[in-house]
Amino acid sequence: MCVNICFGDKLRLVILIVLLLPGWASGETKPLRIGLLPTLSPRVLLNNYAPLRQYLEEQLQQPVQMWTATDFRAFHEQTMAGEYDFVVTAAHFARLAQREAGWLPLATYKTANRAILIMSGKHPISSVEEIRGKVITSVDPLALVVTQSVQWLAEKGLRQDRDYRFVDAPSFNTAAYAVQQQEAVLAIISPSAYKQLPEPLKSEMRVFQTLPEVPALIWMAPPKERVEPARLKSALLNFTPETPEGRQFFEATGYAGMRAVSDEQMQSLDGIADRVKNLLNLKQ
């Protein structure tokens, strides 16, 4: 089930005004559906992407809706089913969509992704061994930062479901609160999510481990699209922190800017794409 995140109490009036604009109210221009990987709660995603949505509406001259899903699996399945005109998805999902359904990479964020393992400042741990028998939490076992962390822990001798238990959280914020409340010893979080933690919560967290960089979220276009991919790619690459909307968006997310994605970078994702494919139990 897809969750439309265009609606919020403060946005209802805005949406009504938008629908009264020439051409939009009469249905002459179908809204562009952009899917957002559910890395944060719908409200936070909506707030973060509102400046970018407004910018794209101006650049593409058509209404834009931002959608998300209940979890990573559902979002990837909806992506592969063609339910979105464009998606902003994790690098390993992006490579799968490219290999198996012909999706096209358009742009990625300049700030690379990586797993950050955070702990409570009041109840810190000093070694990997102290994780044994405890709970680790994060948004979704299919998330790139989770896949990276599980692999890192395995290299340290700790196996999921044998040496520690992984518990899903609805959002990165929820995972951090679980650590605060001593329901988990560690939360796995991304750099952008760490930046966006509420300050009272963030002040109580400490970084236990920062893992190596991995590719960031990637904007993808399906093989059959209603908007020319080159138009969206150009708009994205021109969306910089120097623009008013860009400054607001990049300050909130910490993504720093946009850049193109090379074929070599996409091909380098094959290993983690294969691992997440096994987790998804997709047919070979």
Report whether 141 contacts 188 (CB < 8 A): no
HEC profile of 160-207: ECCCEEEEECCCHHHHHHHHHCCCCCEEEECHHHHHCCCHHHHCCEEE
Calculate ∠ Cα 239-51-90, nearest 5°.
70
- Tell me the C-alpha distance between 169 and 177, whole Å: 10
Q: Provide the whole-model pTM.
A: 0.75
| Cβ proximity of 115 and 146 under 8 Å | yes
What is the maximum alpha-carbon separation in the chain? 63
Query: By C-alpha distance, which of 59, 47, 29, 40 is closest to 258?
Result: 59
Identify the pLDDT of residue 176: 97
pLDDT of 225: 66
The rounded average pLDDT for each run of 10 residues, N- to C-terminus, in the chain (284 residues) is 41 34 52 92 91 96 94 94 95 95 95 94 96 95 91 94 95 94 97 90 97 91 80 95 95 92 92 87 52
pLDDT at 229: 87
In the numeric block, which tokens belong to residue 115? 């797993």
Task: Quote the CA–CA distance of 266 and 230 in Å, as a whole number.
Answer: 18
Q: Does domain 116-210 have CATH number 3.30.70.1520?
A: no
- 237's CB contacts (< 8 A; 6+ apart) are 107, 258, 259, 260
In this chain, the answer to whether the domains covering 2-112+215-280 and 116-210 adopt an identical fold is: yes
In 3D space, the residue among 149, 141, 136 whose CA is nearest the CA of residue 212 turns out to be 149
Separation between Cα atoms, residue 158 and residue 149, nearest integer Å: 11
Options 3.20.20.370, 3.40.190.10, 1.20.1250.20, 3.20.20.450; which CATH number does 2-112+215-280 get? 3.40.190.10
Where do the domains of the chain lie? 2-112+215-280, 116-210
What is the reported pLDDT for 213? 87
Per-residue DSSP letter, 83: -
**CA 12 – CA 237 distance, rounded (Å):** 30
- Say which residue the tokens 């992506």 belong to: 79
DSSP state of 238: T
SS3 state at 208: strand
N-terminal to C-terminal alpha carbon distance within the chain: 25
Calpha distance 235→266 (Å, rounded): 21
